[in-house]
Amino acid sequence: MTLGIRYAARSDVGMLREGNEDSAYAGSYLLAVADGMGGHVGGEIASAAAIEELRKLDTELPAPELLAALENTVRTANDNLHRIVESDPSLQGMGTTLTAMLWAGDQVALVHIGDSRAYLLRDGSLYQITHDHTLVQSLVDEGRISPDEAASHPQRSLLLRALDGRGEVDPDLSLRDAKVGDRYLLCSDGLSGVVTAETIFQVLTDTGEPEQAVRQLIDLANRGGGPDNITCVVADVVELGGPPPRPGQGHAVGAAASASPPDPAGGSPGQDTPARRAAQLRDTMPQPPVAVDEMPPPQAAAPPQMNPGVTRPDPAPRRTRGGGMRRWTWLIVVAGVAVVGIGAVAFVVLQNVRSGYYIGQENGTVVLYRGTTQKVPGLSLSRRAKNQPNPPITVADLPQDRQVAVRAKYEVKGPGAVDDLRAQVCRHAVVESGGKLEIVRGRKQQNCKESKVAGSQVAIAELPTDDAAKVRSGALAFPSRQQAEQKLAELTEHRDQCRSAAATIKNCPGGEGHR
């Protein structure tokens, strides 16, 4: 049975925005949504550039290559954004979210960074299969605020991770199984921030065709005020009755629909570059709209007619400039209070974030940090904790899955996580192999792959009997290679003493000394 997808994609500017900073792509093998940021022009360029790079993956790939292909392409897209900003510094600060799915039969790879979302409708239940990279989501994860509080939090739009070209990109990557009947939704926060999950579930359940679903979801977001651009991609997993679809038959929507397709030939004076594509995209931007009043302004009211013989009272004096100053003074005071209040909230949030813990590595050694793994331009959200692992933990001595986690950095509840990590260290043991001593790592340890670290010419038969017994029992195991090497050097010294004519060590083989 060959699986494929039937899809639809749409993007809408919403009710309040002047331009569309969202981009999306839907094809036979690739679905992607990007929500740009950094101003009207910068946001559109960033999201379109990301989608333009991702759409190259809309081709048939072997399932084992999906994750690597996605990760490499996302890094290339991030590098492209860096080059665009280098060529046009006025675009500094632009960036984009990115949520994309790459398909190969019943396998689908998912990459995610930012606060766009992916949902899965399966067997009558709706699942959110991405995790928002926002400040408020990190506070919810740590139990510091509730999901209800997060919905109205003043910092709910603050992204902690995005594709912005400023450094190494750190997306979430996962591989999932797909089955016939699954329905997937990728969307920008212009939908998920306005339409509830319950309503999204109802629409995805009740509508038959993907095109009908995306239209209805966008309509609901606009009815809810449409405060942001709205982009939706809906795809149904189906059984293909014929040959696999041809690659590259999809289409882009939103800002990406205005971007020039990539030029495969390079090196000519008119070659396709990120900067050139940015300029082309800017040239196609819609001009600022001209304000048109729906109704003419009201005419000034005529002065009231007075009865004969009645003196018209003097008109009220005009407000003097001093009164205007007082009004502005009050406005400034109110604005100042608001700024102070927002600043106080931001300070409290920042302090809460900095009080967390996470584990990472420096120079191959495990490091405990205070703060969060997330990054916010211009803000320091982490620092080295005061108490570090002692003795140090070498990353290479951990099981493979722990090595990956430490290098990627992960949040923990407190310093006690270091002890948990130390308990998983693949220990170095002095053992006997072929009659000689050697150092191995990970012997008889769960999740540790046994490997030889160092050999020696020390024969176990030449050791004092109590040393030989410890080697054979496996008692000489140590957390670090250095400790194991020190023990091996000590055993070598014992062997040499036993060989000496004036041996002082006890329990040497063959009597007091071994000559």
Q: At 376, is the pLDDT very low, low, confident or very high (cuts 50, 70, 90)?
A: low
Q: Does 380 score more than 90 pLDDT? A: no
Q: Are 247 and 34 a contacting pair, CB within 8 Å?
A: no
The pLDDT tens digits of the residues spanning 79-105 come to 999 999 999 988 888 999 999 999 999
Q: Does 236 score more than 60 pLDDT? A: yes
The dihedral over CA atoms of 160, 166, 40, 19, expressed in degrees to the nearest 10, equals: -70
Question: Is this prediction's pTM over 0.75?
Answer: no
pLDDT given for residue 511 in this prediction: 64
The pLDDT tens digits of the residues spanning 461-475 come to 989 999 999 999 989
Give the CA distances from residue 157 to residues 111, 134, 154, in Å, rounded to whole numbers and listed in that order: 20, 7, 8
Q: Which CATH class is domain 2-257?
A: alpha beta
Sheet holding 230-239, edge to edge: 3-12, 230-239, 183-187, 117-122, 125-128
Q: Are 387 and 415 a contacting pair, CB within 8 Å?
A: yes
Where does residue 358 fall: left (phi above 0), alpha (psi -120 to 50 degrees), or beta otherwise? beta
Q: Are 41 and 282 a contacting pair, CB within 8 Å?
A: yes
pLDDT given for residue 479 in this prediction: 85
Q: At 40, is the pLDDT very low, low, confident or very high (cuts 50, 70, 90)?
A: low
Which range is least confidently modeled, 77-91, 107-121, 294-308, 459-473? Answer: 294-308
Among residues of the chain, what percentage have pLDDT more than 70?
Answer: 78
Where does residue 420 fall: left (phi above 0), alpha (psi -120 to 50 degrees), or beta otherwise? alpha
Q: Does 238 score more than 60 pLDDT? A: yes
Q: Does 172 score more than 90 pLDDT? A: yes
Q: How deeply is 202 buried, as exposed, middle or buried, from its count of CB atoms within 10 A (0-12, 13-18, 19+)?
A: middle
Which pairs count as long-range contacts for 366-374, CB under 8 Å and 24+ apart, including other chains? 366/392, 366/393, 366/394, 366/395, 366/398, 366/406, 366/418, 366/421, 368/415, 368/417, 368/418, 369/409, 372/138, 372/160, 372/411, 373/409, 373/410, 373/411, 374/133, 374/135, 374/138, 374/160, 374/161
pLDDT given for residue 316 in this prediction: 34
Q: How deeply is 106 buried, as exposed, middle or buried, from its count of CB atoms within 10 A (0-12, 13-18, 19+)?
A: middle
The pLDDT tens digits of the residues spanning 180-224 come to 999 999 999 999 999 999 999 999 999 999 999 999 999 999 999
Question: How big is the CA angle at 196 (ends 194 and 197), to the nearest 5 degrees?
Answer: 135
Mean pLDDT of the chain: 81
Asked whether the bond before 391 is cis by omega within 30 degrees of 0, the reply is: yes
Domain map of the chain by residue range? 2-257, 357-424, 428-499
Q: Which amino acid, residue 266?
A: G
pLDDT given for residue 97 in this prediction: 97
Which range is least confidently modeled, 5-9, 56-60, 64-68, 88-92? Answer: 88-92
Of 286 and 126, the structure prediction assigns the larger pLDDT to 126
Q: Does 349 score more than 80 pLDDT? A: no
Measured CA to CA, the distance from residue 151 to residue 149 in angstroms comes to 5
